A and B are shown apart, each in its own frame.
Chain A
């Protein structure tokens, strides 16, 4: 079975600070990897995804993530966060056969102006 670990439960940053949120998964096969974000009062939205090719993927709103297969990791980064980035961030994984996503526990990102 797949599992996803997010080690940062609550991250508080000041505006313009750099962000890195950790995500590790456990599954030995080929996976698709995702970061979803949930802004206050809104539905889940896709930030970015990886399924093949360049392990460094760029998403919306300046976010990027790097897939490191040897470390089973897919960390989310942003060089300079903004107050509007305050949200709950979820890492998720699916294998290429089963389309359902397995989610991590989520990281509450709080950016202070």
Chain B
């Protein structure tokens, strides 16, 4: 298993600003992903964080809005740029070993409120 830590755990942000969320895993994981969970809704995949290269984004998400870094196997960041109230959400980091079971481990999430 893997323990995933995120910070900040929550923040209140002003419209038009940007915020970077950090994700640290206590062991090396092959796969890392960023999800968004909007109020009362399920988890939506934002992107796959690729080590040492550009992230792979899902439909509806773009690098300019959600730049992602992953410099090594245990750390990743997600930036939410030029925030608007619609970006208010919980952002979750997840990781997996890549073994055939496909299980992912999740952090506790970063709850962002944009005013």
Contacts and interface: CB of A to CB of B under 8 A. Distances in A.
Contacts of B101: 32, 49, 51
Contact of A94 (B43, B44, B102): B102
B114 interface: no
Interface string B68-105: 00000000000000000000000010101010111111
A44 B106 contact: yes
Contact of A100 (B33, B92, B107, B108): B33
A9 B46 CA distance: 23
A99 B106 CA distance: 14
B42 interface: yes
A96 B33 CA distance: 16
Contacts, number: 53
B96 A99 contact: yes
Given A99-B31, A100-B48, A43 B109 contact: yes
Given A44-B92, A49-B101, A103 B106 contact: no
Interface string B1-32: 00010000000000000000000000000110
Q: Which size class do A's interface residues fall under?
A: 20 to 34
A17 interface: no
A40 B113 CA distance: 19
A51 B100 contact: yes
Contacts of B44: 103
A42 B98 contact: no
A106 B43 CA distance: 9
B41 interface: yes
Contacts of B108: 42-43
A105 B42 CA distance: 5
Contacts of A94: 102
Interface string A7-42: 000000000000000000000000010101000001
Given A90-B42, A100-B45, A105-B42, A34 B106 contact: no
Nearest to A9: B40
Nearest to A6: B42
A46 B103 contact: yes
Interface of A: 32, 34, 36, 42-46, 49, 51, 90, 94, 96, 99-106
